[in-house]
Every structure is written in C-alpha cells, then in structure tokens.
Amino acid sequence: MSTASASGGGAAVDERTARRVAEAARESEWRLPSFGKQLFMGRLRMDLIHPHPRPAPEDVERGEAFLRRLREFLAENVDPQRIEREARIPDDVVAGLREIGALGMKIDEKYGGLGLNQLYYGRALMLAGSISPAIGALLSAHQSIGVPQPIKMFGTEEQKARWLPRCVNEISAFLLTEPDVGSDPARLHATAVPTEDGGEYVLNGVKLWTTNGVVADLLVVMARVPESPGHRGGISAFVVEADSPGITVEHRNAFMGLRGIENGVTRFHDVRVPAANLIGREGSGLKIALSTLNTGRLSLPAMCAAAGKWAAKIAREWCAERVQWGRPIGEHEAISTKLSFITVTAYALEAMVDLASSLADNERNDIRIEAALAKLYGSEMAWRIADELVQLRGGRGYETAESLAARGERGVPAEQMLRDLRINRIFEGSTEIMHLLIAREAVDAHLAVAGDIIDPETAPADKVRAAARAGGFYARWLPTLVSVPGLSGRDRYAGFGPLARHLAFVERASRRLARSTFYAAARWQGALERRQAFLGRMVDIGAELFAMSAVCVRARMDAGSGNRGLTPYALADAFCEQARVRVEALFEALWRNTDAQDSRLARRVLTGEFSWVEEGVLDPSIPGPWIADSTPGPSRTADVHRRIG
C-alpha cells in the first residue's frame, strides 16, 4: 500500500479491498442472544429485556456513593462558563476529578479504580456532562475508548498490572483517525515497522482529532505493521507513552462546540515502542477498536440523555413562566407539542441507555446492536431536543448565557447545548456510518445463509449449495413473519397495562421490518449494500422500535416507585404515540422516495454541470488544501503537548 501524497491524498484502495478490511474487523460470531438482532429478524424477544435488569446491591451502594461525591465536587468546583470562556478545563478541576477517582471509574478495584458497572459509569457521565460536556468528553474519551477499555478487554495480565493502575491517575487518548482516513480503515497510513531483533516497533504517521491527545499521558495508537517473515502484519494496536521521543502534538484544534476539549493533531516520527506494548496480536487492531466501541459507544447516549433531561427542566420552567396572549406559552398548541416532545423523549433516551447499559452489565447478551442504536438514536434525538429548546426560548435561546446574565436574566446556555451536541452525530461513528454498521449486523443472518449466492467470487458449485441452504432457512423463517399464534398482542403484554397496545405494535412492526428487509434483499440482492438511504430508514425504524420497547419496560419498573405513581406510564404512552407516527412515515418512505433521482442528480452535480447555482456569492473560506499534508517525517512545528499536574 502506498503512502499519502504530499498533497494529503490517500492511498489507492479499491472498494472490495476496503470492504474486506472492514468485514475482517467485525465480530462475526453471535455467541450470546441479542434483543436488537432479533428485532430486525421479526421477533420481539421481551424475555431478553423484561423484567428490566437490576444491578447487584453492592454495585448500587458503590455507584450511589460515588455519584454523591461527584455531584458535590462538580457543584462546588466547576464553573461551566469559565470553561466555555477560556476554552479549557482548569487544571485544578482535572486534578480534583483524579482525586475523587473519576479517572478510574471503570477500572477494577484491584488495580486502584472504583470498579463501577456500566450503568453507574453512564450515570456519572450524565452528571459530569450536564454541567460541562467538555468534562464528560474528557472522562469518556479516557475510559470508554482510551487505554483502560482495550487493555481491560484484550490486554495480558502483565499489561493490566502495568497500565491500569496508571490510568487511575493519568489521562489517555485513542488515536485512529488520520487526515485522509476516517471510516475507511483500509486507507490507514501510519506504520509500525518491527526492528530486526523484534524487540521494538518504529511508528511513523500523523493522527487527527485526538480527543485528550493534547494532555494525554498514554495513547492507544492504531498503525499498520508490514507483513514480513515472523510478522503477520496488519492494522495493530499499541500503548504508547505520550512523551516518547519523536511524538509532537502539532496543533490543538478548535471547534464549534465542546470548546474545553483537548483535541489535537499528533505526529509520530521514528517513535520506538517496545514490542510488549502491542495489544493482542498483530492485525487485530481494528477488531480491538470495534469491540471496544461496542460498549464504549454507550458513553455518548448517556450524555445525550443528560442533555435531554436538562432541556426538559428548562423547557418546563420557561413555558410556565413566559406569558403571551394572556396564557403561559406552554398552553399554546404550537408550543405544547414541543414541550411534550422534549419531555417524553428525554425519558425515552434515559430508558434506552440505562437498558443497554444494564444488558452490558449482566453479560448475558450481545449488545453491539443495542449500543449502536442507542448512540445513533441518542445523538439524533438530543440534537432535535436542543433545537426545539432554542426555538422555545426564542431570541433568548440564541443569546449566550453570559450575555443573558449580564443584562439581568437567568443565564441559560441553550445555544451552547446546541453547539456542544452537534458533534455527537459525528463522534465515534457518524449517523451515516452507524446506519451502515447497524444494517450490516441486522442482515447478518441473511448473509450467513445467502451471502455466497450474491458473491461474484463464489464458485458455481458453492452457489448451488448456498441456494439449497437459503431455501431451507427461508422456508422456516418467512411463515413466522405473517402472524404469531396464540394470544393477541395486547393479551400477551397485558401486564404492561396501557402500554400493551404499543408493544403489540412493536411486535407487528418488527415482523413488517423483517419482511421489508427480505423483499429488498430479493429485489436488489448484492446491490442492496448500495441502497444506503433504504438501509438508513430500515435502521431508523429499528431504533424507534428499540426505544419503544425500552421505554415500556422502564415505565413498568418505574411505576409506583417513590412518588411517581402512574406518571411513567403517561410519559411512555405519549412517547410511543409519537414514535409510531415516525415509524409509519419511515415505512412509507422505504418504497416511496426520491433516492434514485437524487443519486442521478448528485452525479451530475459532481461533474460541475450545475455550478452556475453557486454564482453571485463570495467564499469566506481561508485558502488551503482540502486535506492537510500528512507525509511522514519530522515535525516542523512546536510541540503543544502539556501535562496536567
């Protein structure tokens, strides 16, 4: 594979090679049941999520004790407007978080960490992210995808003993993305060449958007090892000391939101890394990264849920206080629909992330689809919530918190929340990539039995055997998508009271979704993977159905607890009604859309045929190449890496 050109262009990688690399990184086996997978196959497996999993008493005691310490620390020591104003989390805040154990929330107690389960880790991120999303991002990038998680999952006992105690006190970062490499890892340019004696690897390359990279002490770096005698090669994962000779943090990036995050560009020039720092085997780097993200992705929806809960509070208080035309604005239908949407969706987002986290904790389920759906749905719906909150607040929603406070009003940072949340639709898999990733997992059963039929490289004899195998599978499966024998849907879910009809809808919609997927596969066969808009809608339907299932299970658990009475049922019922409208619209759009026309037009746009549309304006962009030069070599800039005491 050739290196990037001086202009920053990437190596030439054909589509089949790129797909083969991505496919090899997937976890291909399903050793544990998956609610999400079954949902896409037309089966509502309520037994996998109901009764709602509950944490062990000792996990609750440990988690609640830490949440109390964290809440007290954040309330007394964090000035969110200072972080926004100075675009930096003060060092003493980071030091204080370290002191209370926040850097080691997910690290086992035997290594000096707190040993929180996924549920309470998510709740801690909700708390931290609610006062400052930058703090939430710092803690999440360190523990969800930084050194602790891959070492916990794939490290040797020696590696765990060496690095996990350090991660309780030191900050880590995850380095995969490059200037010309995003969601296509086959183009990865960074190299790790083994020395002749096999004792070290020499790293060269440039990494972009390294959250925590500016202040990190330890790095997880993905680099390509060349195949050679004694080395199987491939993209591999290494733990690298951030102060190693040859590492330069060349730039700290500035963003639309999350202004306090320490995100940068890191260059590696002849950086020597001990062979003992290799995580897993050579060539397993992408599998490690994806496996880490299966659970690590739950950090983002946790913080999205936090944003939703805060927005619900502000929306309720403002809509009751602000009076127009003789009534509080929340009583006007144009506003009440927004207030209802914000409130019920906030409840659903928390239900979704808590359920996925609890499933991850009980370790009896494969949650790769559930975590991905939570990330996708959480990031999209939280953004809609933030946009609606700004609209509810009117001009005050567009005004900064400091400006509001300076003129004597409550400094509500609604516009900041909108800016901070926008990145979540891109972070850790953009919405478009999440659609494709989830769709691939959702159709896995079909590819397992019929993939050889549509694979052009499959021999004719193998195609015949695959056809026979597929025939047997579909003969058994398709009849289950027509009806479910026995009790009616409402009767099957009678224990859910007023929510029974919504679960019956989920059951029917799940079968309808599976039928639609089968029809699409039969119609387009191998070309289905190119019908990305169809696949996106298919996944969005699954996300809505998962959210409905989660909120119904959560409402039944919450009903009667504390002083809530039956109010959880009212929230869940309203959410499900709204979700059903969205689901029906998505089903309609599966087959009635402008996708083909849009694709044809887009190809003409790319040729410049319609460039006249762009006339009459000036481009305020700062001149420069679209993609920065990432040619390996020594750095020519000052190192902006810094350590936090």
Own/partner long-range contacts of 177-181 (Cβ < 8 Å, ≥24 apart): 177/207, 177/208, 177/209, 177/210, 178/205, 178/206, 178/207, 178/208, 178/630, 179/4, 179/8, 179/206, 179/208, 179/627, 179/628, 179/629, 179/630, 180/4, 180/8, 180/9, 180/10, 180/627, 180/630, 181/10
Q: Output b/e per residue, 558-586; b: 16+ Cβ within 10 A.
A: bbeeeeeeeebbebbbbbbebbbeebeeb
Catalytic one of 178, 350, 428, 441: 428
Q: In whole angstroms, what is the distance from residue 590 CA to residue 535 CA?
A: 9
Contact between 84 and 260 under an 8 Å Cβ cutoff? The reply is yes
Please report, for residues 61, 287, 293, 312, the alpha-carbon distance to residue 82 in angstroms, rounded to integers and kept in the order given.
33, 39, 31, 24
Q: Output b/e per residue, 188-217; b: 16+ Cβ within 10 A.
A: bbbbbbbeeeeebbbbbbbbbbbbbbbbbb
Four-point Cα dihedral 69, 75, 78, 80, nearest 10: 130
* Element of type H or E holding 273: strand 263-274
Catalytic-residue membership of 428 = yes
- Rounded (to 5) percent helix, strand, coil in the chain: 60, 10, 30
Q: Output b/e per residue, 358-385; b: 16+ Cβ within 10 A.
A: bbbbeeebbbbbbbbbbbbbbbbbbbeb
Catalytic residues: 428
